[in-house]
Structure 1
Amino acid sequence: MHMWVPKAGWAKYKLRLRRRRLLLRAFRKKHEIKSVVSRIKQIRNEDVLAFVTLRNEIDRLPEFLDHHRKLGIAHFLIVDNASTDGSVAYLRDQSDVSLWQTDHSYRLSRFGLDWLTWLMIRHGHGHWCLTLDADEIFIYPNWKTRSLAALTDWLDRSGHRSFGALMLDLYPKGPLNDTDQRHLTSAFEHLCWYDCGNYTIEKKPAQNNLWIQGGVRARLQTLNPRDLPTFRGILPITPHGSCLCQCLVGQMKT
């Protein structure tokens, strides 16, 4: 006897199966990260948490942490991937940071997502969780005057459990080779240019999300359009650019 399964139902089943596989993968990867300093006991029930993977980001860390603290991030759970530039020592001294370290492959951990998924499973239940890299800065409408708590309150009232954000590649004015990002005082001040008119948007019915491509990568790279990176997942940073807002806010429920 054959059983007919609607396409929508089959798509949902495949997504659930994929989610279970990714959760199992994260569970297996938990042994790759070792705790350096834990301040987990400081986390309060109402805190919004940030989950971050980084490597050799000492020049970006002060502004990165300061910006997200001002938004309302109460605690940072960070995985350092074998930094050699002093990032570990700097993060160890931050009172709102719990730090793990690993020398395993970033690529083979799904670009850090396996490690962060395990930490969210372990420590993110009941919290709104922001995931991003240290070369990314999260903003949203009215972010200068409204805290992250205001955003998550609105999401709660609206019945949303997650909030996806667009990643936008920013770059400085003038020739890229003339700018040394390591000595920039502020990404907001110097990296404020972006391509605004060459994007394509496609809706993916299975995931009910948008597939966005374009920007400076499409203008400078001679790839087939289908091979360009998308603005829906973690992207490799360009050598002289900065990435704004590739992150996902999601509430971990028990």
Structure 2
Amino acid sequence: MKIMCLNGWGGKLYDKLLPYLIEENPDVLCLQEVVHTPETDKGWLMYKDRDHILPQRANFFQDVQTALPDHIGIFCPASQGILWDEEIKIPSQWGLATFVRKSYPIIGQIQTFVHKSYAPYDYGEHPRSRSAHAIKVFDYKEDRSVVVAHMHGLRDLNGKMDTPERMVQAHKLISLANELTEQNDSLVVCGDFNVEPNSETLKILSKAGLTELVTTRTSKGTRNSQYKKESRYADYMLVNERINVLGFNVIFEPEVSDHCPLVLTI
């Protein structure tokens, strides 16, 4: 089974991302920063937050679903705010999504929030609402159940330091994963956590019996040349003792986002 985790950057590089996804064809794709705008058929809209202006694929969720027709896509919104078509305001939902190959039956799932709750009318002030999603699938080839949980950790404008809110979201994430995970289940926990490698978040997950793969497999981080800030780590993937890691890679080429895809084969 191949599991991929990626912050999709709102589809800014979708012309490179979609061919990459088609070629890699993961069995489970955990995707953060997903845009879903059912009120328009426009290809592109603009996100504006003070001096932060970013083009967004208006229906990024559907773009990926079309690229992966053999997968079931589940969109988990964290908020609905405004994107712009020149001077026209268009309501748009933002969150994360999970795509699962149809041959792996989904036998359980939970969607919840790790920070705040659903923001229905505005993206809100930072740190904004953040959601998490966990699915449990049955792997017939290996005769086992596999739980995959991911979140998009909160963004604090002051940086990636430890905060009480980040510790709370780490506990909420592991609680979410454990709610689906029975004694003999394999468990993968991943996402854009928005923390540094020495963070309390990773210590909390480690105390819960999970082994982190990124920091033990690379010293280059999980950011590529699209990302201009100094910090190079944001994304992580962890596994429990039931997981036999056949391969794990942080993908720096091709650049399909300002984050690197994390690809795990179990």
Question: TM-score normalised to the size of structure 1?
Answer: 0.30
Work out which structure has the larger RCO, using CA pairs closer than 8 Å and 6 or more positions apart in sequence: 1
Asked which structure has the greater CA Rg, the reply is 1
More helix by share: 1
More strand by share: 2
Question: TM-score normalised to the size of structure 2?
Answer: 0.29
